[in-house]
Chain A
């Protein structure tokens, strides 16, 4: 292959590369540059070095938002993974009933976050909400989900799980269909109980899907924003403010673009670190597995 040919090849990908640089690479670098400046929406800023970063490290509001983000992610990811796996196991069969139910459970995923939070505001409202009514029917005092600082993160988690269950369920369904039927027949002839079959045949076969779902959901939930902004606006008193909501408020509430960019860079590094740790942990256990 000649050098000339290589250049011609580049021409084919040039439109993509140009667009990619314009809308992805440039904003990324621009954001990094902004994080080293004190700048608002009007007029040029000035270079402050690591000033924004050291201010962030001492900002209790940012610290709380990071803790909230981790807490809500930890509430969501395990439960979401288990529920979507159970749904996939229950709905992995031929027949009209299962097909309709698959559609219903996936339906919530196509709704916008605005609709989702609207629905759950009705569900969670203590005086007229569905959960409140259910509580009352059982003779209990309705729980103030959206105004109690200890209940607001669980409320965010429930809303998010309801919204996000469809896609992981679909991934698990795809994984289940990859398992050859004769594997289960061999297990039946090997006198394996349903429980043994699940743990020794199904789960190992779904290992990669499981890892994928956990990594995707962790990265997604660390960026949780819309539910928190629309359901509670971060309240009460910052108890449900997530990291992305914090940087949204800094950038478009107080117009501190440099400060918000620095927060975004820190969040980016955290997500990168978490993802790499998960990747390292799973590939290490895979190596141990393959031994």
Chain B
């Protein structure tokens, strides 16, 4: 049975539309990430699921029960807020017990659940401290603990790692992944950080401009982006998009760059729309090569990342392209280089932005 189901959810603030006909279905015990830039509506969608905002239209179902008509506290949902929202005058223990007290859970049961959660999160020594006496990381653990003790059917995490420093963020990311294994519930995490979404989520929901752009497993999102937005938003650096012309022929599509050089893709020609196309290339699909070069470009910047180097260059017709070179690249700005484009890893996008992918990019 589906865990959470969204059916045609719409929301506008005044005359500004925020969400436009959003539908989504979560598997049981699935970890989903809502990924998108600021203003894409992902936080609003999370708040509609939690009951902190009301949808203008549409329904929210959780395990066969319609919940969008219920108050937030009766939805079987727990949320970890971006700024934790711990009650400042209560100790960690009281913070975690507050919701259970309101739900009239017997006090020995409350104690047991709080101690269990504190043990899992390693915050037992902090239980009698107030939020002001804790570090940011400790506060976040208490906030997660407050959600855990409720034993909800669905966890909502609003940008859970954004307030932590880089080292703690990496550690907490691992811990969140481990925690996910221990709880018998689905999790939705809102984030604008694609690395977080890629490492934690079973499936990613990419949102932009009021709509869901694509739903898929992390590598599917990366290797088969549904449109140019997903292609450029996911992956760092962003995918290069180059204007190309479709050559005549049958079978796999062949495209022509501005300087006339040809890239042979594995994308079936008959699935493609007519008219102009854009060729999508990730840096790992474009190698700096002297021998069998597909085309030539002029180097504008070399970014040495340690394990590899990224070469930002310009094609003869002025279009930018990003290529990969070995870590010990000797290229310098202004150099003319040959680029070998791996046609099997290439993507094509129609005028409307829809993506088409080859057989290799599975």
B93-106: contact bitstring with A at CB < 8 Å (1 yes, 0 no)? Answer: 00000110011000
Q: Check B312 for interface membership: any CB of A closer than 8 A.
A: no
B80-94: contact bitstring with A at CB < 8 Å (1 yes, 0 no)? Answer: 011101111110000
Q: Check B62 for interface membership: any CB of A closer than 8 A.
A: no
B74–A191 touching, CB < 8 Å: yes
Contact of A290 among B50, B83, B130 (CB under 8 A): B130
Q: Check B52 for interface membership: any CB of A closer than 8 A.
A: yes
Q: Check A78 for interface membership: any CB of B closer than 8 A.
A: no
Please give, as numbers and ranges, the residues of chain A lying within 8 Å of B71 by CB-CB distance.
Answer: 188, 191
A189–B83 touching, CB < 8 Å: no
A182–B99 touching, CB < 8 Å: no
- Determine the residue in chain A with the shortest Cβ distance to B156: A189
Q: How many residues of A contact B (CB 8 A)?
A: 20
A183–B130 touching, CB < 8 Å: no
Please give, as numbers and ranges, the residues of chain A lying within 8 Å of B72 by CB-CB distance.
Answer: 185, 188-189, 191
B83–A182 touching, CB < 8 Å: yes
A180–B85 touching, CB < 8 Å: yes
A204–B88 Cα gap in the complex (Å)? 9
A190–B89 touching, CB < 8 Å: no
Q: Check A289 for interface membership: any CB of B closer than 8 A.
A: yes
A92–B101 Cα gap in the complex (Å)? 28
Q: Check B73 for interface membership: any CB of A closer than 8 A.
A: yes
A180–B87 Cα gap in the complex (Å)? 10
- Determine the residue in chain B with the shortest Cβ distance to A185: B52
Which segment, of A50-58, A118-126, A192-200, A226-234, faces chain B? A192-200
Q: Check A66 for interface membership: any CB of B closer than 8 A.
A: no
Contact of A185 among B74, B85, B130 (CB under 8 A): B85
B87–A189 touching, CB < 8 Å: no
A189–B72 Cα gap in the complex (Å)? 5
Please give, as numbers and ranges, the residues of chain A lying within 8 Å of B146 by CB-CB distance.
Answer: 186, 190
A182-221: contact bitstring with B at CB < 8 Å (1 yes, 0 no)? Answer: 1101111111110010001100110100000000000000
A200–B99 Cα gap in the complex (Å)? 12
CB distance from A181 to the nearest CB of B (A): 9
Contact of B85 among A182, A192, A200, A207 (CB under 8 A): A182
Please give, as numbers and ranges, the residues of chain B lying within 8 Å of A188 by CB-CB distance.
Answer: 51-52, 71-73
B102–A185 touching, CB < 8 Å: no
Prevailing SS type, chain A contact patch: helix
A200–B130 touching, CB < 8 Å: no
Q: Check B144 for interface membership: any CB of A closer than 8 A.
A: no
- Determine the residue in chain B with the shortest Cβ distance to A290: B130
Please give, as numbers and ranges, the residues of chain B lying within 8 Å of A289 by CB-CB distance.
Answer: 89
B73–A190 touching, CB < 8 Å: yes
B102–A192 touching, CB < 8 Å: yes
- Determine the residue in chain B with the shortest Cβ distance to A193: B102
B85–A183 touching, CB < 8 Å: yes
Contact of A191 among B50, B81, B85, B103 (CB under 8 A): B103
CB distance from A95 to the nearest CB of B (A): 15
A116–B79 Cα gap in the complex (Å)? 52
Please give, as numbers and ranges, the residues of chain B lying within 8 Å of A185 by CB-CB distance.
Answer: 50, 52, 72, 79, 81, 85
A182–B89 Cα gap in the complex (Å)? 15
A186–B81 touching, CB < 8 Å: yes
Q: Check B19 for interface membership: any CB of A closer than 8 A.
A: no
Q: Check B78 for interface membership: any CB of A closer than 8 A.
A: yes
Contact of B98 among A182, A192, A205 (CB under 8 A): A192
A290–B98 Cα gap in the complex (Å)? 18
A153-193: contact bitstring with B at CB < 8 Å (1 yes, 0 no)? Answer: 00000000000000000000000000010110111111111
A190–B99 touching, CB < 8 Å: yes
The winner among A180, A187, A188, A190 for most chain B CB atoms within 10 A is: A190
Please give, as numbers and ranges, the residues of chain B lying within 8 Å of A192 by CB-CB distance.
Answer: 73, 98-99, 102
CB distance from B78 to the nearest CB of A (A): 7
Please give, as numbers and ranges, the residues of chain A lying within 8 Å of B87 by CB-CB distance.
Answer: 183, 186-187, 200-201, 204
Please give, as numbers and ranges, the residues of chain B lying within 8 Å of A205 by CB-CB distance.
Answer: 88-89
A85–B99 Cα gap in the complex (Å)? 26
Please give, as numbers and ranges, the residues of chain A lying within 8 Å of B51 by CB-CB distance.
Answer: 188-189
Q: Check B348 for interface membership: any CB of A closer than 8 A.
A: no
A159–B69 Cα gap in the complex (Å)? 48
A190–B99 Cα gap in the complex (Å)? 4
A182-B81, A185-B52, A186-B81 known; A191 vs B89 contact (CB < 8 Å):
no
28 contacts between A and B (CB under 8 A): A180-B83, A183-B85, A185-B52, A185-B85, A186-B85, A186-B86, A188-B52, A189-B50, A189-B52, A189-B72, A189-B73, A189-B78, A189-B79, A190-B73, A190-B102, A191-B71, A191-B102, A191-B103, A192-B73, A192-B98, A192-B99, A196-B102, A200-B87, A200-B90, A204-B88, A205-B88, A207-B89, A289-B89
Q: Which 7 A-B pairs have the closest CB atoms?
A: A191-B73, A190-B99, A182-B85, A204-B89, A186-B85, A191-B102, A188-B72
